[in-house]
């Protein structure tokens, strides 16, 4: 995206109503605009991050075997009267009447509605287990909404609900959700600690909150610092193996970690003194097991293997999708602005042209922009006629992980500057070829663009000219040879080959036109063959092996 064509209303001054870092930076960076107290419009940059977070949540839920659906924001009050929560929920619930006088409410959660859906269609234990979820806007009429999206009245939330025939199966679903949540937060670059918590108005006998440590957190938390060393990383998780799930859950719940509502000073004192920590935390998710609390009241019954009608065991599991955006900023920022983790960043990198109008600088920026776009990455090209300091300040504020600075002085030496937003480290990289000493550095940094759907982007050294690569051999591996700067398809003879025939990869069929720049499998050569980039189907298939001519 070119910044001159984008809508990015950044502010130089911090609005007076912003009290915490995330609220200040979200307003200043043009992510949100307040529409009413506790209610916000999501501007283009904020919406991109929100959609990235939503995508990660959705992907991890489906990997765990959970089934998406979509329920409405408005619900019938009659369902809530069945469960007994219509009056008990309190003034946070927004109650309304339609033109016919029927009582409705703007859903703060969906236990009643999902139970009604389940009981309408499922009647046998043979149809269990089932876990259904959706990602939908919700409303809670907070008395004192504050801190921007961290404690707003309208928010985007993923809420899921499991239905099982007995307690044992429902607790397996509880473990499955905990592991999938840990994986979800890690993909977003967050350290979210599962802590024993209070169930609140939802109810239930077993619940954990996931909290991100931050000074601005609304909850006081007590924990064993050993939990900070835990991570799933590249561990392969089999969601069909309850023993593995239980092992992971035990590993993460063994160290002491509780919110102030469930804090037990006697147990906490058993933790070695040097590992005892107290802090504040931001809640970004919570999981519940509440047994037959809703199924008993609402008649969600199934026939078991003995022919008896029994209530199903249920749990609910929520992730605050819009709140996560604020939590990420609270956990990842400096005095210049946001520092986005690469998994959720709105753009993979920023390109800054230090001298707009200079033929060589303009051409180099255009080449970089076209090349990165052709590789499936999304750069933000600052092509405004502004001073360099202003461009740098904007890039620092919006927090893109990498900045590529292009100027006439560097181009005379054949280099551009690659800057890491997180560390501030700067390296020169060859502008046209990426060759020589800097080739490995550039390759290593660009490899980190693997985020979300780009996790399978791989950079490989090109040890021979792209004009000598055997296109037929690459076709057998489902690869297309593309020039890294121009996007032009190359063959071993330097001519554009005929369209490739249909090929099969890992049982998945794809039709490949050798001239298509958006082909999902390609090798791209930058400049004079300094390195190659091979991209495969995102997050599904392993990277193809190198073809030798």
Among 58, 75, 76, smallest CA distance to 67 is for 58
Taking 50 as the pLDDT cut, the residues of the chain under it are: 202-203, 433-549
pTM for the complete prediction? 0.79
pLDDT of residue 283: 93
pLDDT of residue 465: 32
Strand partners, 223: 257, 277
Q: How far apart are CA 222 and CA 229, in angstroms?
A: 16
Token pair in block for residue 183: 């994986």
pLDDT of residue 201: 52
Structure-derived torsion over alpha carbons of residues 297, 298, 299, 302, reported in degrees to the nearest 10? -110
pLDDT of residue 96: 94
Among 255, 258, 208, smallest CA distance to 228 is for 255
Q: What is the mean pLDDT of the chain?
A: 80
Q: How far apart are CA 406 and CA 389, in angstroms?
A: 14
Axis crossing angle, helix 44-63 with helix 167-187, rounded to the nearest 10: 140
Dump pLDDT digits (tens) for 197-220. 776 554 456 889 999 998 888 889
The DSSP string of 498-528 is: PPPPPEEETTEEE---TT-TT-SSEEEE-TT
3-state helix, strand, coil in the chain (%, to 5): 30, 30, 40
Structure-derived torsion over alpha carbons of residues 216, 217, 221, 223, reported in degrees to the nearest 10? -70
Tell me the residue length of the chain.
549
Token pair in block for residue 425: 């480290």
Dump pLDDT digits (tens) for 470-493. 434 444 344 444 343 333 444 333
What is the SS3 string spanning 43-109? CHHHHHHHHHHHHHHHHHHHHCCCEECCCCCEEEHHHHHHHCHHHHCCCCCEEEECCCCCEEEECCC
Dump pLDDT digits (tens) for 328-372. 999 999 999 999 999 999 999 999 999 999 999 999 999 889 888
Among 220, 235, 228, smallest CA distance to 191 is for 228
DSSP for residue 318: E
pLDDT of residue 199: 60
pLDDT of residue 287: 95
């Amino acid at each position: 995206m070119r910044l001159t064509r984008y809508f990015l209303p950044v502010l130089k001054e911090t609005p007076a109503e912003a009290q915490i870092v995330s609220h200040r930076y979200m307003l200043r960076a043009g992510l949100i605009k307040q529409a009413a107290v506790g209610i916000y419009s999501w501007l283009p940059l904020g919406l991109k991050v929100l959609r990235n977070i939503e995508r990660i949540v959705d992907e991890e839920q489906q990997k765990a075997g959970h089934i998406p659906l979509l329920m409405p924001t408005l619900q019938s009050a009659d369902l809530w009267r069945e469960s007994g929560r219509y009056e008990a929920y309190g003034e946070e619930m927004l109650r309304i009447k339609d033109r016919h006088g029927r009582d409705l409410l703007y859903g703060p959660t969906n236990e009643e509605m999902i139970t009604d859906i389940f009981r309408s269609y499922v009647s046998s234990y043979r149809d269990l287990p089932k876990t259904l979820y959706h990602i939908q806007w919700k409303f809670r009429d907070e008395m004192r909404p504050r801190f921007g999206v961290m404690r707003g009245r309208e928010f985007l939330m993923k809420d899921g609900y499991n239905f099982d025939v007995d307690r044992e199966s429902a607790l397996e679903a509880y473990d499955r959700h905990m592991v999938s949540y840990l994986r979800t937060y890690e993909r977003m670059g967050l350290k979210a600690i599962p802590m024993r918590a209070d169930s609140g108005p939802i109810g239930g006998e077993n619940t954990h909150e996931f909290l991100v440590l931050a000074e601005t957190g609304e909850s006081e938390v007590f924990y064993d610092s050993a939990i900070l060393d835990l991570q799933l990383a590249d561990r392969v998780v089999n969601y069909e193996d309850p023993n593995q799930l239980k092992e992971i859950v035990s590993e993460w719940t063994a160290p002491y970690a509780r919110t102030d509502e469930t804090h037990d000073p006697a147990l906490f004192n058993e933790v070695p003194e040097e590992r005892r920590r107290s802090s504040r935390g931001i809640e970004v998710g919570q999981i519940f097991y509440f047994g037959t609390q809703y199924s008993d009241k609402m008649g969600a019954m199934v026939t078991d293997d003995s022919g008896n009608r029994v209530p199903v065991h249920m749990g609910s599991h929520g992730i605050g999708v819009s709140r996560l955006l604020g939590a990420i900023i609270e956990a990842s920022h400096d005095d210049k602005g946001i520092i986005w983790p690469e998994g959720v960043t709105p753009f993979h990198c920023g390109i800054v042209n230090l001298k707009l109008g200079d033929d060589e600088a303009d051409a180099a920026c255009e080449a970089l922009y076209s090349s990165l776009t052709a590789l499936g990455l999304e750069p933000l090209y600052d092509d405004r006629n502004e001073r360099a300091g202003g461009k740098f300040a904007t890039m620092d504020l919006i927090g893109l992980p990498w900045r590529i600075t292009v100027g006439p002085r560097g181009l005379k030496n054949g280099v551009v500057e690659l800057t890491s937003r997180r560390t501030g480290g700067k390296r020169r990289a060859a502008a046209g070829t990426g060759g020589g000493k800097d080739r490995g550095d550039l390759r290593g940094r660009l490899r980190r663009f693997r985020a979300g759907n780009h996790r399978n982007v791989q950079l490989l050294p090109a040890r021979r000219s792209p004009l000598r690569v055997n296109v037929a051999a690459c076709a057998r591996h489902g690869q297309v040879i593309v020039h890294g700067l121009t996007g032009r398809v190359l063959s071993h003879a330097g001519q554009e080959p005929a369209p490739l025939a249909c090929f099969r990869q890992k049982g998945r069929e794809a039709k490949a036109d050798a001239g298509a720049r958006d082909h999902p499998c390609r090798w791209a050569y930058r400049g004079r063959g300094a390195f190659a980039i091979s991209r495969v189907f995102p997050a599904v298939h392993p990277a193809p092996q190198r073809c030798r001519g």
